[in-house]
Structure formats: C-alpha cells, structure tokens
Chain A
Amino acid sequence: MSENASQNLWTVIGKSEEFASDLGVCIKIEDEQIAIFKLAGEKEWYATQNLCPHNKRMVLSRGLTGDLNGEPKITCPLHKRSFSVNSGECLTDSDTGCLKTYPIKEDDGKLLIQFS
C-alpha cells in the first residue's frame, strides 16, 4: 500500500495549537459537526460526532472530558451521559446509541482527520 494513497484520505482541520489542549472544540467539515478533544495519555487526540445521541443536540464538544477506569471519555453537558472517545460506546446507559468516531492525528503541527 502506498503511503500517499492513504494520506489522501486525511483532511487537515487546522494547526494543532489552535485547538486548546483542555477544551473540546467543534469543527465543521462539509455539513458535518465533529467534536475534537485532546486528553493526556497514550493517545492524545480524539474526534467524535458532535451530536449527542440521547436528545439529538449538537453539544458534545461543550462537555467535560475525563476517564472511567482508564477509558477516556466525554460527558454530555445536558444529561451527563458519558461516551468512550475511543469506541464511541455509551458508558452510562445501555439504551443510548453509539458515537461515530473519526481517526485523528497530529503531523508537523497540523491536525488531520480521516473523514469519509
């Protein structure tokens, strides 16, 4: 597999320094709203859908990040449901749907996301 071919799928979303290291940020790509988080740990950057599957509002980027038994997570500001930012799975309620997650990486001071 050629490196270039897979790199083509990565979209640059900005300079990584523009993303505050401790706050979620929502970005818009085409018509999609994506929440970007940076958490201290093995893997630093995470990207998920901004829509909370519970009441379907565009709010996740404004939630609090944290971890549950080591699993990095985002907690929705509206009703405090928590989701793994790795798998997108809901960690607090069994009947709330999953988040879509996006591969994201930092390269040469830029933040790139795989968006399809």
Chain B
Amino acid sequence: MEGERNKTSVHKIWDLFASVKLAIVIFALISLTSIIGTVLEQRAEPAKNIQILTKLFGESLAPTMYNILEKLGFIDMYHAWWFVALLIILATNIIVCSLERLPKIWKVVKEPIQPMREEQLKKFAINREIVLKGKPDKVKDAVTGAIKGAGFNYTESKEEKGYQFYSQKGNYSRLGVYVTHFSILVILIGAIIGVFFGFNGHLNLPEGAMSNVAYSGREKVIPLGFDIRCDNFDVEFYGRSDMPKEYRSYLTVIKNGREVLKKSIAVNDPLTYEGITFYQASYGLIPENFGKGIFIFRVISRDGKISNLNLRFGDTFEILNTTISGKIIDLSPALKINEKGQVFTYANQMNNPAVYIDFSESGKHKYSGWLLKRYPETWQLPEGHRVEFIDYWGVEYTGLQVRKDPGVWVVYLGCITMSIGLYIAFFMSHRRLWVRIVEERNNTRVVIGATSNKNRAAFERKINKMLSLLSKRQEGGR
C-alpha cells in the first residue's frame, strides 16, 4: 500500500517534469524575474539601487523595497539559489521531456516506409491523380524519372495491375528539436565547468611592473603560476579627436625566470597562456607616479644625427654636435592648444602628454616651449633640429580582465550544436511520398499521396511541378 502510494507520487513528479506546461511556466518565471534583475544594478552598492527604487516608488517606500528585494536575493539575482533552482528545473524539464518523447519519435524515424492501399493514399493531405497514355510498363520509366528528379530514392513493389513506388526523406529531421534541447544542456554543462574549474579576475598592471597573481572580487588572490609583465601601454586616438582608436598593452609572460611569450593585446585580441586569458579591459593614470615617469625622446639634429634618450623630470639633454641643451621643467597629462595659442590641460588621463622644455645655448637661455606627444609640429626647433616626444612611460597602468574558463569550448560546442539543431528543426522536414501506377483501359492512372511534417505548401508545389513535368513530357514524346 505504502509502496504504491510512493510510486504514484514519483509518477506525479515525473509527469510534472514531462509536461510542456512546466516549461511554459519556467520560461515565464525566468523572463519576469530577469526583468527585475535588469532594472536593479546587480552586485552594486546599496545606495545605487536605493536611488533607482526612489525613482520608481518614491523616497518613503524605497528603503523598505530595497530590504525586501535584498532578502529575496534580487541584488545578485542571477546567482540567487532560487534562480539557479529555476535553471535546474528547466534542465530537468528538458531531460525528462526528451526521455519521454524520444522513444516514440525514434520509432517514427526508424520506421521503414511501406506501400499503401489506394484508399489510404487518397486520405493524405497532399493527394493527386492523373492519367497517362500507355500501359504501366511503358510509362514506368517516366514516372520513376520524375520521382528521382524530385530528389527521392524510391523503393519499388510490383502490384497486381501496376507498380507502387514509395520513398521518404528527412526522417532524421524529426530529431532537430531534440538536438536543440540537448545543446541547451551542453551549454549549461559548459557553464558549470566554468563555475567550478575556472575563475574570473582582474589585474591592474603598471607599465614596467610584474605580477604572479590576479584578483577576484574585493580581496581574493588567485595565483597564476607564472609572471605577467606590462612592458608598455598605449592609447591611440582618431586624428586630433579624443575618440579612442586602439588600446594596446605589450605583455610578456615569464615562467621560471625565462621570458616565454611576448604579445601585444588589444580589445578583441587577448593573450592566452596555460589556459589563462588576459583581456584588455581598462587603463588609467597612477597619480603618485605621475612626476616619476620616463620621457622617451628621439632627438634628430639638423645634420641628421639621431640620439635616443630616456630622461626624467628635471633632466638636461644635449642635441648632438651642438651647444644647445634642453631641460625638462614642466609636464601635463593632456594638453590642448586653443585658437589663441594658449595651452591648457583638459583631462586627467594621458590623452595628450606634453612636456615643457627650457632650451639654452652655451649655458645662455634661448627659448622654451611645450612639446606635445600627439602634435608633431611642436617637435620642430627653429634651427632645424627636432625633438620627437615618443612616450611618457611608467605612469599608466593597464587594466586586465584575467579569466580561466575550461568550459568555454563546451559552451561553443553547445552553440554549434544549437545552430545545427535549429537549422534541422526549422528548415528541414520529414517528407513521405507514395506513387501508385495502375493499368486502366490500356492507359495508366497515377495516384500520388504525400505528407510532410512541416512546410506542406512547399512540398505541394514540388509535387505539382513533378506532375506537370510528367504530363508535359508525355505530350512532347508523342
């Protein structure tokens, strides 16, 4: 008695998970709760979300609303237990539904096509009948030619007064839905692998600095197993605008004291080493380093002598073969020159670093001026010498997203599987075709019955075309 009751409750649960109604409810629940998750900023400071809630519900209700939503996990809802539970229910639903339906569908897929009686053929959604001149043995080749022309490999059976040809195509396309469903499970498995065996960290690496760890969340330290060094970071802009064209970090991987990999990365072009990938994510100026960087100059004298210089603030340098020297006495991270020729600093980031140099000849002050990194015309000196401002190095950091996700290939595999599944499910159909030819008063009656589980209209057009070709050929052949 007890056992039987248990069995029925197990059955009830099974039936629940095998029902499409459950899927519909889960779709709706995931969608509706997700809307809340897009309105509230996820994993944000309370103040931010209270501000959003104030806009929606007014000042008096906002704190209470926040407390309720926080208790329910909506501030980090995509990781909340109930959201994960919804995803698990969805996955279980997919598995149980497939187990429940697949055997029946598999039978339909594997079932060989059988010849039919004429009354049966006439019951099909697509059925046609025409009369061709001549006995069945004479028109047989034309008919089978037309069937082949429509792309069907047929089976032939001899009947009392004629033949029957029958064929099916795309029976496996019935599995498209299951391939699609299966791919969702594959993607979820890939995501789980990523959660358990991967990490998602970040690392702000100053130019010239090296690190063997990345950071996750607020304080969690993740060892990398090797060192990563930022040799240089550069932002390129479009023309004279401040619209970024490219962010580029020049990285070196060092393992056991040896440089093993050098690569410059940009957005959409990361570096991967030992399964850990470094993405260009952000950048910034290190304020306490700002005066301590290295000025990289290339000085070209009038007669073409080149010297490459690395200088610090306050340093003096000489132009080769001359008595002219320059001293660095001021700098700016982003300098602009307005129409009146005045200079001003317009940003805190290094959008256009500039250096102020005091030039002297034989110890006597000559002239001074700003050299701007992005304005080469400011590099030219009146005597024909040129001081090229190549870089101001060591004051910026590159913000790297550091990620290890061994599940990503599983996810991609799932994506490919889903594309194939959707293609099969939506653009392929299981088509069955029966053609019976019977002798009737020295002529042949052709009876056609056909079905398609999808896109019947297209199959109908194809059959109409086949028939019109058949009757046309006979007229032409006479």
Co-assembled chains A and B? no
Interface residues of B (CB under 8 A from A): none
Interface residues of A (CB under 8 A from B): none
